[in-house]
Amino acid sequence: MRWKILALCLVLALSALVLQTFLYLRTSSGIIYRQAKEENLRLMENMQNEIESYARQVENGLLRLYNESEFIADLRRDAPAEMMREKWNRLAFNTGSGNFDTSLGVLAVYLYTDEHEIISTYRRAMTPRHNYPADLYDGTQDANEQKLKDYVASDDTVMLVSSYYNIYREKSIARFAIKLFQSGRVVGYAVCDVDEKALRYLMRKYTEGGEGYVWIQPEGDRPITATGTLTDAQLPDYEEVSAAILEGTAGTEQIAELENQVFFRVLQDRYNIGSYALMPQSLLEKNQRTLNEYLLLIGILISLAAIILSFPISHSLTCQLERITGTMERIKGGETQLRIDRLPDDEVGELGRTFNGMLDQIEGLIAREYEAELSINRAEYKALQAQINPHFLYNTLDTMSSIAQIRDCGEVSELCQSLSNIFRYCLDTSTPFSTVAKEIAHLRNYIYVMNVRMQGEVEYTFEIDEEVLQDTLPRISIQPLVENAINHGLKNARGEKKVCVRAYKEQDHLRIAVSDNGIGISRERLEELKHHYRGKENSIGLSNIHSRMQMLYGESYGVTIESREGEGTTVYLTIPRQSEKENREH
């Protein structure tokens, strides 16, 4: 029997290994190659979503010009351009410096009549190195102004995304433009030029370490910016594809095979921005080749180990196994009271003892196994229900948003979308941590809902240090601080109500500060909160956040409060700085 076991184990192990290796080599190549392409496409889709979010922020900043009702009225009655330039000389400056977050990288803002006459100009910096046109139509340089004129003359109501090459900075400048409507007609338009590195920063988050070439380019226009290295082999394909996009003849396929290259394309539904990439086929096949090499090496090593170890192992096993199987045969023959004895203190002995126990408890085990299967089925059903309910809620809100948008209920559509984003973020249990950028995005959705609810009663400002955007912190840590400021700091306050959210680094710490100009906290109540963070209603959010931070990071971290009665309150959240990578490693 020993030799039979030895031969059988060797033949089965080696046969299975050789067969698995052969089949894997034949089938894995195409699978891994397709997976690599799908992964690259998924990353580009995620990148496009973030670029679209960036464009929406710029568009929202420009749309605030509609708050200047007197300016819109002057445009509508075709007031003389000279008069408007004198009257609204500072409007572009106020728009550029007040309507946009600094992270958007706004460089210049231009306001025009529908006859392309300049009204107001804002340029962030004016040096020989950083120089921008005072008027896009003054002829000092080619500012791709014809594309802007074509857009104003068209029936397109969506924001234009374009670019031009700045000869002073020797780089492309991204451009966003919206038409200003009054009584159903175009009365003017606004142009916002931004630094393309803001877009390149978003792209690099999804292309870091890649060897391909990724760029964004509006349909029928020149490229805006790119990241990666364009090799000599890729240059002809890039020039051909870019020219086809400029001419509007590039097609719509998402993935296309070129000679030694793979071309990826992801378009946006809202704006005319497309993301494109050229990846060498050898790069996508690299993982497959490496895996094949390791698989062959592992197969050889396992075969040698199986041959060397089979001899002593088979001998040690068969002696005890023959005795155990003999006893089992007798039990099978009807000697049910018989038990295996003289068992060694090894795995084979443990097998015999387990077999003896199994004979004693077989009926009870069968009953318990049946009960366990019922419990597992119930748990799986509940788990599926828990997954279905949130998705039903998301899909319902998305459907409501689409219907509202179709029926021109823009505010209802945005409200549904914001609520959907809030629920997705709050109910996402895949990880307990998030980044400052995602927390701020979640907060903006919450603020939008609160603005709709409170009719814009509260003014919000953000001062977010770009360096901390990718720092991690426990999920839903900032929004409760803002909610606390609204409910308890500003609820009973009179006059102008303001909330300021700041995020910055302080030595090795991440610091979040939420300030309001509300009623403040008395000195006695402030001392009580500082020592206990307890209260029946007005500090349960602070207590929860403070406890979470101290459990995660230690007693030296958490929430602190500064307040003066009648002047306002500032709540600080302090935790150690950690990147997403560091957080995953811990």
Residue type, 516: D
The mean pLDDT value for 231-242 works out to 86
Does residue 509 register a pLDDT over 90?
yes
Does residue 542 register a pLDDT over 60?
yes
Q: What is the pLDDT of residue 251?
A: 74
Which ranges in 178-223 belong to alpha helices (H)? 196-207
Candidate CATH numbers 3.30.530.20, 3.30.565.10, 1.10.3720.10, 3.40.50.1820; the one for domain 459-585: 3.30.565.10
Q: What is the pLDDT of residue 305?
A: 72
Planar angle of CA 294, 300, 301, nearest 5 degrees: 90
> Over the stretch 82-121, which tens digit does the pLDDT of each residue have?
999 999 999 999 999 999 988 899 999 999 999 999 999 9
458-464/497-506 β-pairing: parallel
Q: Read out DSSP for 278-327?
A: EEEHHHHHHHHHHHHHHHHHHHHHHHHHHHHHHHHHHHHHHHHHHHHHHH
- Compute the Cα dihedral for 107, 113, 116, 117 and give only its sign: negative
For the record, the structure tokens of 70 come out as 């007197």
Q: What is the pLDDT of residue 398?
A: 67
Residue with tokens 């946009």: 100
C-alpha to C-alpha distance for 438 and 473, rounded to whole angstroms: 10
Looking at 182-196, 327-341, 436-450, 555-569, which range is the least confident one? Answer: 327-341
The mean pLDDT value for 220-242 works out to 87
Residue with more model confidence, 297 or 545: 545
Backbone angles phi, psi at 238, to 5 degrees: -60, -45
CATH 3.30.450.20 fits 59-194, yes or no: yes
Contact 144, 164 (CB under 8 A): yes
For the record, the structure tokens of 246 come out as 């400029």
Q: What is the pLDDT of residue 525?
A: 81
Residue with tokens 């062959």: 296
pTM of the shown model: 0.48
> Over the stretch 428-469, which tens digit does the pLDDT of each residue have?
767 788 899 999 998 998 888 888 877 888 899 999 999 999
For the record, the structure tokens of 158 come out as 């969506």
Phi-psi region of 294 (alpha: psi -120 to 50; beta: other; left: phi over 0): alpha
Domain segments of the chain: what residues?
59-194, 339-430, 459-585
pLDDT confidence bin for 586, thresholds 50/70/90: low
- Compute the Cα dihedral for 452, 455, 458, 461 and give only its sign: positive
pLDDT confidence bin for 386, thresholds 50/70/90: very low
Q: Read out DSSP for 332-345?
A: HTT-TT----S--S
Q: What is the pLDDT of residue 417?
A: 79
Give the helix/strand (H/E) hosting 510.
Answer: strand 509-516
Terminal alpha carbon distance of the chain: 51
